[in-house]
Structure 1
Amino acid sequence: MRKLFGVTLAMLLIGLPLTAQDKKPEGEEKKPLTAKQLNKEVLDEIQKFQKENKSGDRAELLKVVDQGFERFLRAIEDNPKASDINDMVSFAARYVTSEKSMNKLGETVVLKTNILQGEKPFQVIMMLGGRNPKFLDKAMELNKSKEVTALVSFLKAQAAMSEFSESGKKEDKEKVLKLVAAVPADMALDIGSPRKYEIGKMAAKLPKKLEAIENLAVGKPMPEIISKDLDGKSVKLTDYKNKVVVLDIWATWCGPCRAMIPHEREMVEKLKDKPFNLISLSADGEVKTLKDFLEKEKMPWTHWHIGASGEVHDILNIEHYPTIFVVDHKGVIRYKEIRGEQLEEAVEKLLKEMETK
């Protein structure tokens, strides 16, 4: 997370429009802004800054976003029993720019509001608990309902899954399984959307994901991948044996994925005479979306279409985009989640290994 810049409260107030907390005409009482009204004002301030500052100074933009966050924080503190307090917290979370701010919001919710003791604190717990284990502990302490206990267990299981993915330690795996066991199979929560948040079904899938993580560890053989090319023909990873292969699981709508394209293009050109293949696996919903994109963007390497979900996603345990695997000529996973110069250096190292054997 980006660190918060040292901006004093006095500075935060500069240039902001009057709100219910600002000075009012004598004898006149203004109603506090609703969450939606405040969000509109904050967005207007951000958009105004962006229009007036063409230099694209990111540090200054973050200060404006932080100002918006502070306004929401004051609104929560000043009117903690507002009918839309849950929305107020949810909007505030959108303007968090640092771990410090996230922790500050969590403390305010615990100390100033009764959200966690309410009947449906689920959305707030999800938004604030993912990066704040102490907040999850406090939520379960203040609300001992089976729903909150299940949700906290599930969120902690997801966090433990990430830890296991990095460590591979047996104790981390057992931690995940223990937390999963605390989530009833039929548990579904109303998080304020038309669809239920079916954490029971999602938790039941985590043990299989653990198995996938183990099978995809660096040093393990890469599982066989069977997919479709742009013409709908069946293709498989073993067709590329005796070559160094980079698997790039991406989507045309993914900003970080698209940012990789220029360097990937340079790398492919540089290594065009080497036993190397870059295979991009598109997670776009429709193959036409990919084809249309490739007509405009030069990406002269191998492309497969795996869709938004399915067997390949399960085999590779896809949780985010891009997901990168680097496989050596023997079909062994040698690197994961590397990009740019680091990716190119890894490929060149594996190619040299081939030459010396």
Structure 2
Amino acid sequence: MRSILLLLLSAVSLLAQAPASPLATEIRAIIDEYENSVRANTQKLIAATTEEEKNKFRASIPSAGPYATKMMALVQANLDKPDVVKGVNWLVMGAAGFPEGQEALKMLGTTFADRAGIAESVKQLEFQGLPAEPVLKAVIEKNKNREEKAAALYALGAIHFKNFDASADRESAKASKVKALECFGQLTADYFDVTIQGFKLSDFVAKMLFEMTNLQVGCEAPEIEGKDADGVNFKLSDYRGKYVIVIFWGGWCHACHGTLPLMNQAAAQIKDKGGVVIGVNTDIETEAKKALTDYQVSFRNVLDNTSSGPNTSLYNLRNFPTLYLIDPKGVIAIKNGALDAMVAQVLASQGAAK
């Protein structure tokens, strides 16, 4: 028995030490060549001492295009080999904006729909929206591997969830919700334990299901609470009786920088009109305090300390900045809408009250 065990361990060890196939080595070489060129340019950008030099290196970031061309030639010459999926994955995830990336996407729904090893790129299709739906349906139908099937169910469900969340048309939103729930229900029932890149897909699904049920217009807003920059605890519900505009943001978020002065203006506009602005900042504490000073933020902020902090996670944030308008009863009035519309609603309510 002991000798059999030793033989098995020896076989496992030999497999672990087995050299990569020539095809896998070629694929890796193309990816490394591209990544090394980007890394070298980044190092030059970091080392640049003048703005002119920095602009030069910003303008010379290597394109993935030439490497995508090489990769596609390699893929097309080796369609029947198992390791070729590594090249397809890179094209779908790393070269989506190039013709080769789009061709690889089509291949996922045809040549490679039933292959093992495509789960990571299939999951990434959640960011490509409805155009990826036929590919995902093909993988769900043809692929017998648990990871690949679970990844396709997740991505398709996520696409319909985002359509539901963003749709202004009630019928369209309802149809998207049904489709999302169908995908999520099958994934939860049959693939609850599947992980992709170390993350459990059912955990992501749970957050989206929570958002569908609890973070829509008309729902009572979940509590936001924590310490402000002075270390004082406060909560969203402390402002019950007022309209509250909530912004989730971070100093790391370039899109937030232009919004913050507008938030300051909004805070001043609604201050004496039955409204208040509060923020959920997602920087670590030292960086948060610096950002509050740098951008002269005039409204109170909960410091969440990370973009996966307790409040940010509860609200399942996918984009920054994200704004909510909470009405005086604590109910979500506007979700991820325009700041102007939120301010207008606050001011209109004050006029109606008179």
Q: Which runs of 5+ in 1 are unaligned?
A: 1-30
Equivalent residue number for residue 188 of structure 1: 194
| 1:101/1:320 CA distance change after superposition, 3 Å | farther
SS in 2 for 1:182: helix
For residues 307-339 of structure 1, the C-alpha deviation after alignment (integer angstroms, 9 at most, x for no partner) is 44465345534333222102344544332213x
User: Aligned to 2:151, what secondary structure does the other structure show?
Assistant: helix
The alignment partner of 1:181 has SS state of helix
Q: Percent of pairs identical after alignment? A: 20
Question: Cα–Cα, structure 1 residues 110 and 42, in superposed 2: closer, same or farther, change >3 Å?
Answer: farther
Partner Cα separation in structure 2 for residue 149 and residue 84 of structure 1: 19
Task: Tell me how far 1:282 sits from its aligned partner.
Answer: 1.6
> CA shift at 1:304, angstroms?
0.9
* Bigger helix share: 2
Residues 91 and 260 of structure 1: CA distance in aligned 2, closer, same or farther (over 3 Å): farther
* TM-score normalised per structure 1: 0.69
> Quick one: which amino acid aligns to residue 285 of structure 2?
V
Name the SS for the 2:186 alignment partner: coil
Secondary structure at the residue paired with 2:96? coil
Pair 1:311–1:109, CA change in 2 (3 A): closer
Asked if the contact 2:34–2:64 (Cα under 8 Å) also holds between the matched residues in 1, the reply is no
> Does the CA contact (< 8 Å) of 2:243 and 2:275 recur in 1?
yes
Whether 1:88 aligns to 2:87 is: yes
Paired positions, count: 311
Give how far 1:204 is off.
4.8
Partner of 1:281: 280
Partner of 1:325, secondary structure, is: strand
Could you say which residue in structure 1 is the equivalent of 2:149? 149
Which residue pairs with 2:17 in the alignment? none
Is 1:43 matched with 2:38? yes
Could you say what the CA RMSD is over the residues aligned between the two structures, in angstroms?
Answer: 4.0
Instruction: Quote the residue 1:238 is aligned against.
Output: 237
Quick one: structure 1 residues 252 and 162, their matched pair in 2 at CA, closer, same or farther if it must change by over 3 Å?
A: same
Separation in structure 2 between the aligned mates of residue 61 and residue 288 of structure 1, nearest angstrom: 31
What is the deviation of 1:43?
3.5
**1:149-204 Cα distance to aligned partner (Å, 9 max, x none):** 22222222222222332456555434333322322354224x5x5x3x32244445
SS at match of 1:356: helix
The corresponding residue for 2:19 is none
**Bigger mean CA offset, 69-78 vs 175-184:** 69-78
- Superposed, 1:1-150 pairs within 5 Å as 34-40=29-35, 43=38, 54=55, 66=65, 69-80=68-79, 85-92=84-91, 93-97=93-97, 103-109=102-108, 114=112, 116-128=113-125, 130-131=127-128, 132-150=132-150
Instruction: Say if 2:213 is the partner of 1:211.
Output: yes
Task: For 2:194, give the aligned amino acid.
Answer: A
Q: Is the Cα–Cα contact under 8 Å of residues 160 and 172 in structure 1 kept in the other structure?
A: yes
Which residue matches 1:292?
290
Please name the residue that 1:305 is paired with. 303
After superposition, the Cα gap between the structure-2 partners of 1:44 and 1:108, relative to the gap in structure 1 and judged at 3 Å, is farther
Q: 1:110 to 1:76 in 2, by over 3 A?
A: farther
C-alpha separation between the residues in 1 aligned to 2:285 and 2:300? 14
Q: Contact 1:246 / 1:326 at 8 angstroms: preserved in 2?
A: yes
Deviation at 1:73, TM superposition (A): 3.5
CA distance in 2, matches of 1:273, 1:235: 20
Structure 2 residue identity aligned to 1:211: T
- 3-state SS of the aligned residue for 1:264? helix
CA shift digits 1:89-114 (9 cap, x unpaired): 3443323337x775433124556x65
Aligned equivalents of 1:221, 1:110: Cα separation in 2: 41
Partner amino acid for 1:356? A
Which position in structure 1 is the counterpart of 2:6?
none
Q: C-alpha separation between the residues in 2 aligned to 1:180 and 1:235?
A: 35
The residue number in structure 1 matching 2:340 is 344
TM-score with structure 2 length normalisation? 0.69
* Pair 70,109 (structure 1): closer, same or farther in 2 beyond 3 Å: farther
Cα-to-partner distance string for 1:196-231 (whole Å, 9 max, x where unaligned): x32244445544343224xx32x4443443332223
CA distance in 2, matches of 1:146, 1:91: 21
Q: Which amino acid aligns with 2:148?
A: V
Show the counterpart of 1:8: none
What is the aligned partner in structure 2 of residue 319 from structure 1?
A: 318
Distance in 2 (CA, whole Å) between partners of 1:139 and 1:77 is 20
| Larger mean Cα displacement after TM superposition, 289-298 or 312-321 | 312-321
CA–CA separation in structure 1 for the residues paired with 2:54 and 2:230: 46
Q: Which runs of 5+ in 2 are unaligned?
A: 1-25, 46-51
